[in-house]
Amino acid sequence: LMPFSTDMFQEMRRTSSVYGYFYRADIPPFTSANVWEFTQLFMAAQGIGYEDSELLKRIAPRDGVWGQRHQYDLSVFMTDAEILQMDFFRGDLYQSYFRHLDSTGGFYAFGWGDHVVRTIAVAILT
C-alpha cells in the first residue's frame, strides 16, 4: 500500500472532471449487446458528434476496414471506489441518455451494466 500523493477530490475539482477511475478493462461483447447502436441513435437525436470528445475517439475509434464508421471498443472504466461529480449524473443530459437507454429495454433484455453505461455517457456527454 502507498498513500495517495494528491487529494482526488481537489484534483477532480481543479480539472473539472466528472468521473474518476483506476483502469480500463475490456468486457465480453454479450454484456453490452446493442448499447452502442442505441447510443448512436441518442447521439444523432441530440446532435452529438464524434469529433466533440477526445475520450469518445478513444473508446469508439473508426473501424480499421473502411475507416467510415465508429465502433465501440468494448472497454469500460473500472474502479473499486467510484468518484463521481454528481451534478453531471443528475443533470438533464445524462438523465435523458439514461431514459433513452431504459426505454429500449436493454438493461433487462441484454443485462447492460453500470460500467458500460457510465463509460459511454462520460465519453459522449463531456
pLDDT digits (tens, 9 = 90+) for 32-79: 888 888 988 998 999 988 777 777 777 776 665 544 566 777 777 776
Q: Is residue 119 a contact partner of residue 35, using CB atoms and an 8 Å limit?
A: no
DSSP 70: B
- Cell numbers placing 52: 466533440
pLDDT in tens, 66-84: 445 667 777 777 766 777 8
Q: Quote the pLDDT of residue 64.
A: 55
111-115: Cβ within 8 A, 24+ apart: 111/30, 111/31, 112/31, 112/32, 112/35, 113/31, 115/27, 115/76, 115/77, 115/78
Q: Is the dihedral of CA 86, 116, 71, 104 positive or negative?
A: negative
pTM of the model: 0.72
Q: Where are the alpha helices (DSSP H) in the chain?
A: 8-15, 35-46, 54-59, 86-90, 92-103, 106-109, 114-125
CB 98 within 8 A of CB 126: no
Closest CA to 120 of 72, 61, 86: 72
Alpha carbon distance, N-terminus to C-terminus of the chain = 32
